[in-house]
Structure 1
């Protein structure tokens, strides 16, 4: 039986244009409060930003069949997207106004499978170190019983973002 899913998203330029005008934490909090739209990837995968504070960001997902790989569990790319988002946005929260970041690498360890029966999962990102040019963050993917499902570390390059 065929299944389908419909979703919509906001213009991503709205967020991109706002980045240089806010501190990193201010920017992330505006997304959390709904003043800025979530990025299109969040709508595509069903990811939600749940928490943000200095040095920490939390994303959540309720896994569905649309996240499955051919063997009947959530695709590793979905894990990676959640963990990369949490680690990267944690880095964003420590940046001053006018600075941005991009991931240089993402090292990921898968520990448990995720299926629709797993229920809601949360990716908790924290900054381990932030310098002038790079930052190091980690993220843990946990289920509702606080079991560790996957772990990632990410190095990020920091750079100035000019106002548009």
Structure 2
């Protein structure tokens, strides 16, 4: 038996089982349509290609702006989806159901195309360095200037002793 015969037999058995269900109310005209839909479903699950359904062509997306214009400002990145400015694209892409990799692939961008505005990235980097992130263990945070030399201790006055009385 071939795979085609198996899918036809499976579709036929499923249709017979569907018709033998006492809760199924159908007319004789609906049976061929149901049998065809079962055959298509079984063929699809079996990995067979249906002759009737040609493969859908890949959809072309035209960007709202060019990649150069998208990165023109240091303060924001302009989205190629809707042409609006954002400091970071990650949340915007998530609302549109995409990942950064899918976004780059969709608009033929390089792998190193940034998802965050340059000024935003610099401010986050400065903030992280300020609180000490990125240091290796054992390194200390360097202060801007050397601390002033400590004042010499005053000589303590001798305490009065009980013998002096």
Relative contact order higher in (CA < 8 Å, ≥ 6 apart): 1
Per the TM superposition, whether the score is higher than 0.5 is no
* Bigger Rg, which one: 2
TM-score (norm 1): 0.23
